[in-house]
Structure 1
Amino acid sequence: MIKAVLFDKDGVLMDSEAEYERRRQIFFSERGIDASGFPDFYGSNNDVIWRTVEPNDAERRARLAVEFVERFKDEPMIYADYVYPAVRSTLEALRARGILTALASSSPRKFIDRFLDETGLTELFDYTVSGEECENHKPAPDVYLRAMEALGVHPDEVLVVEDSPLGIAAGRAAGAFVLAPSVPSAPGVDQSEADARIVDISGVLNYLDR
């Protein structure tokens, strides 16, 4: 019987990955960085991204990360504009059925908190955890294992909702059943390792009795 549902943020609760990629490409172009050999950064955390961009010079890597934030400081994402329509109703339905919920994201804590504050979803999550609060990032299972421990549930009592290959791998490594919602802005994302695919996150309501 499912007792908890754990959600990723980007690509699951909000359609933000395409906007992140647009901003990265603008920044790379303005800095003269050849991105042609970079892997697909979909679902990657900032540490992985900047280590890929600058694998050798730690000082330059840190500087680029700061410059990226500075470049877009006057163009903050309005998170409420990117939230999927089914998010609030799904979270409310889970709460009504006594299902625990957690937000487990690779995003820095400050962005998780801002997302929850701007969207008014704070009260609909029983627990939140950031990848920066864990030893290992996705695809390691750390964020999901920490959420399970905090909620007092076992992996076989949990659904994980993830969109990216890295996140799906993390959920599977944590021992949970992983659902992958479609991503309209990235229809080609590889979700083949998920246990099941759903149209949007409201689909989790069909898996609570498994």
Structure 2
Amino acid sequence: MFDLDGVLVDSEPVWEEVRRAFVADHGGTWQEDTQSRLMGMSTQEWAAYLHELGVTLPPDEIARGVVDQMAERYRHGVPLMKGAPEAVRRLADELPLGLASSSPRALIEVVLDAAGFRDRFAVTVSTEEVPRGKPAPDGYLAATAQLGVDPRACVAVEDSSNGLRSAHAAGMRVIAVPHPRYPPAPDALALAWRVVPDLDSLTVAAIER
């Protein structure tokens, strides 16, 4: 089970830039810990949070405005993480893959097409399609349910604090690939079964061991 943002797509800097500018342009105040809080939230959750920061628009308009700007950025190229296409192909040749992402469905679809990932994932879930975003386990549990597998028989690949907590709460073993700019909190990283420096280290043999 893969996360998307920060694992396969180097999108966190783009999310931060877009949402930070949106907050500033609409009367809100970006806080020092805002980005770390937002990572893993569902669309509904982060839109409500930006509204709490003082953005004058209602949450549904906030979500629509930010997602439209993200989609426009992606139309100019999806910033894949180093080794992401190779890792997905390598694992998909041997194992069934799922995707549990906090991105809205519209952005997931853009990435699947742009990166050539569509036929590599047996199931994809957006946390806007489940009751709660990360760190709740809902997205991962929905993905494993659709695959018809026990979460305890799955390995999740995550980067963020909320993502690590989410996969661990679902009962999965978690491989952490920390993002150098947005490292997870130490207590969240301690939940990882393994920590690897990059996606090149993610092999079928390493998972089977």
- TM superposition score category, shorter chain reference: 0.7 to 0.9
Secondary structure of 2:74's partner? coil
Q: How many residues align?
A: 202
- Which amino acid counterpart does residue 208 of structure 1 have in structure 2? I
Q: Distance between the aligned counterparts of 2:14 and 2:150, measured in 1?
A: 35
Name the counterpart of 1:162.
158
Report % sequence identity. 30
Q: Determine whether 1:34 maps to 2:32.
A: no
Q: Determine whether 1:93 maps to 2:86.
A: no
Cα deviation, residue 7, structure 1: 0.2
Distance 1:61 1:200, change over 3 A: same
- Which amino acid counterpart does residue 173 of structure 1 have in structure 2? A
Name the counterpart of 2:202.
204
Please give the TM-score of this superposition, normalised by the length of structure 2. 0.84
- Which amino acid counterpart does residue 193 of structure 2 have in structure 1? D
| Runs of 5+ unmatched residues, structure 2 | none
Distance 1:79 1:85, change over 3 A: farther
Name the counterpart of 2:14.
19
Greater relative contact order (CA < 8 Å, ≥ 6 in sequence): 1
Distance 1:75 1:12, change over 3 A: same
Distance 1:25 1:151, change over 3 A: same
- Which amino acid counterpart does residue 19 of structure 1 have in structure 2? V
Please give the TM-score of this superposition, normalised by the length of structure 1. 0.83
Q: Distance between the aligned counterparts of 1:197 and 1:73, measured in 2?
A: 29
Name the counterpart of 1:64.
62
Distance 1:79 1:112, change over 3 A: farther
Cα deviation, residue 147, structure 1: 1.7
- Which amino acid counterpart does residue 195 of structure 1 have in structure 2? W
Distance 1:151 1:61, change over 3 A: closer
Of the structure 1 ranges 162-171 and 152-161, higher mean CA displacement relative to structure 2 is found in 152-161
Name the counterpart of 1:121.
117
Q: Distance between the aligned counterparts of 1:164 and 1:136, measured in 2?
A: 16
| Runs of 5+ unmatched residues, structure 1 | 1-5
Q: Determine whether 1:153 maps to 2:152.
A: no
Alignment partner for residue 79 of structure 2, among 78, 82, 91? 82
Secondary structure of 1:35's partner? coil
CA RMSD in angstroms, aligned pairs only: 2.6
